[in-house]
A and B are shown apart, each in its own frame.
Chain A
Amino acid sequence: MRKTAPGAGAIGFMLVIVIAIAAATMTKAAFAAPPAPNGGFVWKDGPEVYTKVCGYCHEQGVGPVIRGRALPPVYIRNVVRNGSRAMPSFRIAEIDDESLTKLAEYISAN
C-alpha cells in the first residue's frame, strides 16, 4: 500500500517548505504559528501565505503590485480583513492573526 500517512507526510511537507522558503527569501527567523488543534494545516510564515494566496493575483497582473512599495502593515492588515472592491476579504479562519502580522511585515519590507 502506498497510501500517504497524514502525520508523517505533514511533517515532511513542513520541512520542505521551511527549507525552500528560507533558501529563497532569507527572511528573519520565523516564529512558529500555533499548532492546529486537530493536526491540520497551519501557515509557516509570511512568505508562504504570500506565495500560496496573494501572489496568484498580485504577481500575475490581476491585482496591483503590493511588494516593494513599503505599504504600512496596518493598511495591509485592514485590506486583507475587509477586502477592497473586487479583492475578497480573508477571515481569521483562513489567515490567523499571527500569520497576518507576519504576512503584512513581509509585504511591507519586501
Chain B
Amino acid sequence: MASKYIALPHGVSEQTFDAAISAFRGVLGESNVLVSAEQLAPYIKTMMPVPDSDHAPSAALMATTVEQIQKIVGICNKYKVPVWPISTGKNLGYGSAAPAERGQVVLDLKRMNRILEVDKELAYALVEPGVTYKQLYDHIAERKLGLWLSMPAPSAIAGPVGNTLDRGVGYTPYGEHFLFACGMEVVLANGEVLRTGMGSMPGSNTWQVFKWGYGPYLDGIFTQSNYGIVTKFGFWLMPAPPVFKPFVIQYQDEEDIVEIVETIRPLRINGIIPNAVVIAHALYEAPTKARRSDYVTGSGSISDEAVRKITNDHNLGIWNVYAALYGTQEQVDVNWNIVRQAFGKSGKAKILTEKESAGDPAFAYRAALMRGDMTLKEFSLYNWRGGGGSMWFAPVSQARGGETLKQMSLTKEILARHGLDYSGEFIVGMRDMHHVVDVLYDKTNPKQVKAAYECFDELVSTFSAQGYGIYRVNTAFMDKVADTYGPVQRKINKTLKKALDPNGILAPGKSGIRL
C-alpha cells in the first residue's frame, strides 16, 4: 500500500510517524501540520544539483511559541523523529527551506515573527526567527528610529536570525553579522530554555548590550550547528550616519586584485573604510546590465575576450570595488582624501562616486546594500545561465593580494574545465576575505547539473588540499566540507551533540554533525 506521506524519517515506521503526527496536531492544531504533497511542495525546491527528492521533508510544522517548540521536541524525543528548524527559509544557494536529509520534519518558524524590542538609544533589536529584514526595516522607518540594518543580498525576503545563525554577511560597517549578535534564547533538545550571556540572570537588563555573560561564551555553538533551536535573537543596529558616501573603484585586469587588496587592507584595518567592502568581478555585476547570450554561443564557459567586451560595453571594471564612507561631513572629507590618495598612486584605478554613476543599476543596488536598504537586484545573477541552478562556493582567503589572485585563478580554472563561468567576489574582511563565488548552472539541463556537481566537488577537494577552508556550504556538501576540517573537530562536535541532543532529533547532518 502506498504511504500517505511523501517521505518518512530515516528509521521511523509509518505507524510510529502516524503517532508523532497525531501528537504534533495535538500541540499545533490540524492546519499547522503539513503532510500533503501540495502543502510540502514549497519546501522541496532547491537550487542544488541533486534530485530535490533527496531533500524532501516528511512533514512541516508551523510553530509560533516557545511552549509549542518545547512540546514538539518532547514528541520528537519520544518517537525519535528528527526536525530541521528554519526561520525565513530563504537560504538560497545553500539549501533553501529543504532539510539536510530526506524525511526530516521541517520546523518552520516563519510565523514566529514578532519584533520584541528595538531600542533607539542603545541601538539594538530583539526579534523572533520569522522576522524578515523588510519587516524590521519598515518597523524602524515607520517609527523614525534612525537605525540602519545590515543584510545579505536576499534582503527583503530573508531575516536576521537565520542569516546570522548560518554566519552570513552583509555590506555595511556591521557586515560581519555574528560579530554584532548579542544574546539568544534557545530551546534545547531536552525542552529546557536557555538564555545566553546576561539573559540567564533573572531581572537583567543587559542581555542585548553585553555579549559575554559569565563563564564560557555559548552563543557560538548555536551557529552553523544543531545543538538547539534559537527562538529569540538580539543584535546591534547601526545609528544612521549624517553623511553616507558610496563609491566604486574600477580596475581593468584580473591581476589588479593584488593591488586592490594590498591598498584596501590598511584602509580597512585602520577603519578609514569602515564597511564590508566588496571586490566584485565583472561577471558578478554584468547580469544587472547584460545578457550572456549576447556574448556567448555554445556550451562552454565565457571567454576572457567576451568578458572584456562586456566591461567595455557596460561601464564595468574587470574588478569593481564597492565601498562607502560614513560619518559627519568632516570625517568623510578627511577619509575620502586618504582613499583617493591611496588608490591614485598607480594610475590604474578609476574612482566613481554617486554623481558619476547616476543611473547605473549595478552601482545603485550596491549603494543600497551598503546603507541597508532593501533590494533584490543581485538576483539578476540567476538570469545569467538561467534554469535556477546556484551554489555558493565560499572559501576564506587571507587579505593578501597574492592569495586572492591565487584563489581567483584556481576557481576560474576549475569552473572553466566544467564549462562554467567565474561569477565571484571578495567581501567583508579586514584580515580575511570571504571569497564568494556563485556556481551558476541550468538545473533543467542534466548535463549542466552533472557538471555543476562535479565542479563543486572538485572545488572543495582542491581548495582544502591547499589549506583553503570553506566557511559555509549547501546541504548537499556539508559532510564533505566537515571532513576538510579534520577528525578532531568532527569528534568534538559529535561529543557536544551526544551531550546536548542524545536522541539526535535536532537537524541531524547540519555541518556534518550527527550522532
A residues engaging B (CB < 8 A)? 2-4, 6, 9, 12-13, 16, 36-41, 52-53, 56-57, 60-63, 81-94
Interface string of B35-56 (1 = CB under 8 A from A): 0001101111101000000000
Q: Does B121 contact A (CB under 8 A)?
A: yes
Q: Which residue of B lies closest to A96 (CB)?
A: B111
Shortest CB-to-CB span from A4 to chain B, Å, is 5
B residues engaging A (CB < 8 A)? 34, 38-39, 41-45, 47, 60, 62, 64-65, 88-90, 92, 96-97, 108, 110-121, 128, 130-131, 134-135, 138-139, 142-143, 145, 156-157, 361, 374-377, 379-380, 382-383, 386-388, 390, 443-444
Choose from B44, B64, B90, B383 the contact partner of A38 (Cβ within 8 Å). Answer: B64
Pair A2/B120 contact, Cβ less than 8 Å: yes
Kindly list chain A residues whose C-beta atoms are within 8 Å of the C-beta of B382: 62, 86
Choose from B41, B111, B116, B134 the contact partner of A52 (Cβ within 8 Å). Answer: B134
Shortest CB-to-CB span from B143 to chain A, Å, is 5
- A60/B117 contact (C-beta < 8 A), A4-B143, A40-B64, A91-B110 known: no
- A3/B41 contact (C-beta < 8 A), A40-B130, A41-B135, A92-B62 known: no
Pair A91/B118 contact, Cβ less than 8 Å: no
Pair A4/B97 contact, Cβ less than 8 Å: no
Shortest CB-to-CB span from A87 to chain B, Å, is 8
Pair B113/A36 contact, Cβ less than 8 Å: yes
Choose from B96, B110, B112, B157 the contact partner of A53 (Cβ within 8 Å). Answer: B157
Pair B383/A40 contact, Cβ less than 8 Å: no
Shortest CB-to-CB span from A91 to chain B, Å, is 4
Q: Which residue of B lies closest to A39 (CB)?
A: B114
Shortest CB-to-CB span from A38 to chain B, Å, is 5
- Cα-based distance from A57 to B390 in the complex (angstroms): 17
- A88/B110 contact (C-beta < 8 A), A4-B143, A6-B117, A56-B375 known: no
Choose from A4, A41, A61, A89 the contact partner of B113 (Cβ within 8 Å). Answer: A41
What are 26 A-B pairs with beta-carbon distances under 8 A?
Answer: A4-B145, A13-B139, A37-B65, A38-B64, A56-B156, A56-B374, A57-B379, A60-B376, A62-B377, A62-B379, A62-B382, A62-B383, A81-B38, A83-B45, A86-B382, A87-B388, A89-B42, A91-B89, A93-B60, A93-B62, A93-B89, A93-B108, A93-B110, A93-B111, A93-B130, A94-B89
Pairs of residues from A and B, 6 with the lowest C-beta to C-beta distance, nearest first: A86-B382, A89-B42, A93-B110, A56-B376, A85-B388, A40-B113
Pair B111/A82 contact, Cβ less than 8 Å: no
Choose from B39, B92, B119, B143 the contact partner of A9 (Cβ within 8 Å). Answer: B143
Pair A86/B379 contact, Cβ less than 8 Å: yes
Pair A82/B41 contact, Cβ less than 8 Å: yes
